[in-house]
Amino acid sequence: NDTVTASELQGLKYKTVADANGTGNLTFTVADNGGTSNGGVDTLTQNLSITVNAVNESPVLSDTVVMLGTLAEDAGAPSGAVGTLVSALVGASNVSDADGSGLGLAITGVNANGTLYYSINGGSTWAQVGAVSPSSARVLYADSDTRLYFVPAANYSGTLGDAFTFKAWDRTGGYANGAGGVATGATVTLSLAGSYNTSGNSLDVAISGNYAYVADNSAGLQVINISTPASPTLEGSYDTWSAGGVAVSGNYAYVGDASDGLRVINISTPASLFQAGILNTSGSARGVAVSGSYAYVAGADAGGLQVIDISTPSSPNQMGSYDTSGIAYDVAISGSYAYVADDTSGLQVINISNPASPILAGTYDTSGNARGVAVSGNYAYVADYSAGLRIIDISNPASPTLVGTYDTSGDSRGVAISGNFAYVGDYAPGLQVIDISDPAYPSLAGTYDTSGTSGNAYVAAVSGNYAYVAYDGQGLQVISIDNVTRPNAFSVASDSASLTVTPVNDAPALTAGSLSFSAVNEDSANATAASLGLSAVTYGPGGGTDESGQTLTTYTITAIPSFVTLYKANGNQVNANDTVTASELQGLKYKTVADANGTGNLTFTVADNGGT
């Protein structure tokens, strides 16, 4: 019943109501002042038909404890209605769906310490889930017939927090129960939009406005005009000793220039660059980050973290430093902390609240060699060389914890974050784009492969729909980011099912030697005892490492053939049901019984203290 002016009517806008759809009319009347006398009409009624089409919305999976229960070590393959119903793993307690569709799950990972089986007919038949990933999952209904069963690897015992990993599925997409090869994560299409082959070896890149600033090693700082991404052109350059890192703030580019330290380059006129200031830092200046009035330099080789006052760009001034335990390659700043990629020492978290006296706040020793780092929200993303991407929770800087990993195919050198994606310079294989919408379960969304070229991807900077990649050997590559899609049939978040495998004592095992005896003639050893040939025979605890602390307690002779008599090395006779030590077993001898012959077994048992 509101009234609007003609211009307001023309400018009307709308918002859709959450989770609502349908077709209806927006009705309004237009009235004039002519009146209604003599049959006149002063009102016109108009209808604007509006249709809001229904779209499938992703189910929402909450982070809950999902249990498969308990299983005994060395349990065999499933048979019958055993294991866990899928409907016990996903349901109203941990999945919500605005569309009210059916429920199921998509298995995206299986722990290597066992084999996951599934049945879609109540246990009448079982099959292995097989190799799965977020891009090739197996989907299962949550109903009364679909079950899962995890068979632990031989001799494995313990608790598996991630027996398998899954996403919620709303049973749309046209997939049959048990279907495999289903893509559940985001995908990104990458293609080469343009390139500029610099004269040096591109190691780092920063974007500001219409320009890419490339640290080009021996060719110094290269400024490339990217206003037309398909045709980047050189705008200007400044020759430095060995540019390895670059950050841009305002009218200045801050270049980590190896043994020459930090160079401050005036970029107010990109075609006419000049040096505004320089500071010879300790170590070999590499990665650079700028925050406020300070530049933070990762001093590779021996410099650790250098804190430099740049409030007067023409006179940069060393404020403080922290000598990290490794080789500082890169640095990112968030709040009062500097996050340093410190090679073999992993991620170093340094408190910089007092720039003159930075102190170590916490560390996380990654499994690879930390070469690049980016920070977004509560997470630090570390390019960990041969170990790929490491995602570390830094909500408590004093105690960083690993939450997720993605093992890239190459050697990760640098990382940049944009939205829900990490852009990883993976050296020879090129640019890898990792979906980090769920940091605990990152997955590959797309790649731009350069393995067939001479270039190696170091690091990317993302702006708009383009990734600008520093390619050692090929300069600057401009990669178009297209067709970002995410299947609505699956939850964005993932979860894991846990399983406890209880240990079962295994029988002792023969660890050396063999049980063999060469036939002898009747009456060949009536007078003098001969060796049974057990001197090399030894036994140890059976099973896995959970039994390594056990000891062997008894060796018991349980049966002796009637045509021989048995003796210890000291000449004492051994009878059935006697016990001997390990060394006595190795030294056993025999005598043949006069005029007796035949074939039979000398039987003995070996017992440990592991119980049953």
| pTM over the 0.85 mark | no
Residue 226 in any domain: the answer is: yes
Residue 128 in any domain: the answer is: yes
What CA–CA distance (Å, rounded) separates 255 from 41?
76
pLDDT digits (tens, 9 = 90+) for 295-327: 999 997 777 999 999 999 999 999 999 999 999
Q: Are residues 314 and 422 in the same domain?
A: yes
Question: Considering 15, 31, 52, which residue would you say is the last residue of a domain?
Answer: 52
Task: Using alpha carbons, select from 463, 464, 427 the residue that is nearest to residue 447.
Answer: 427
Task: Using alpha carbons, select from 127, 122, 126 the residue that is nearest to residue 81.
Answer: 122
**Helix segments in 225-353, DSSP class H:** none
Residue 25 in any domain: the answer is: yes
Domain, as residue range, for 86: 60-169
pLDDT at 582: 94
Q: Are residues 161 and 288 in the same domain?
A: no
Q: Are residues 149 and 201 in the same domain?
A: no
Q: Are residues 120 and 199 in the same domain?
A: no
Residue 16 near residue 52 (C-beta atoms within 8 A): yes
pLDDT digits (tens, 9 = 90+) for 120-143: 999 999 999 999 999 999 999 999
**What is the pLDDT of the chain when averaged over all its residues?**
94
What CA–CA distance (Å, rounded) separates 289 from 295?
6
| Cα 596 from chain centre | 70
- The tokens describing 22, both together, are 């349908």
Q: Are residues 96 and 32 in the same domain?
A: no
Q: Are residues 34 and 99 in the same domain?
A: no
Please state the φ and ψ torsions of residue 585, each to the nearest 5 degrees: -60, -45
Residue 495 in any domain: the answer is: no
- The tokens describing 472, both together, are 């050692």
pLDDT digits (tens, 9 = 90+) for 84-97: 999 999 999 999 99
Residue 492 in any domain: the answer is: no
Residue 119 near residue 126 (C-beta atoms within 8 A): yes
Residues 6+ apart with CB under 8 A from 26: 47, 48, 50
Residue 180 in any domain: the answer is: no
pLDDT at 203: 97
The β-bridge relationship of strands 114-119 and 147-152 is antiparallel
Domains in the chain, number: 4
Q: Are residues 333 and 308 in the same domain?
A: yes
Q: Are residues 304 and 385 in the same domain?
A: yes
Question: Considering 141, 169, 197, which residue would you say is the last residue of a domain?
Answer: 169
Q: Are residues 161 and 219 in the same domain?
A: no
Half-sphere exposure of 106 (CA within 13 A, CB side): 33
What string of H, E and C letters represents the secondary structure of 407-437?
CCCCCECEEEEECCEEEEECECCCEEEEECC
Q: Are residues 400 and 287 in the same domain?
A: yes
pLDDT band, residue 610 (cuts 50/70/90)? confident
Residue 177 in any domain: the answer is: no
The β-bridge relationship of strands 204-208 and 495-502 is unpaired
pLDDT digits (tens, 9 = 90+) for 323-350: 999 999 999 999 999 999 999 999 999 9
Residue 499 in any domain: the answer is: no
Q: Are residues 440 and 572 in the same domain?
A: no
pLDDT at 362: 98
Q: Give the mean model confidence (pLDDT) for residues 415-422.
A: 98
What CA–CA distance (Å, rounded) separates 456 from 433?
15
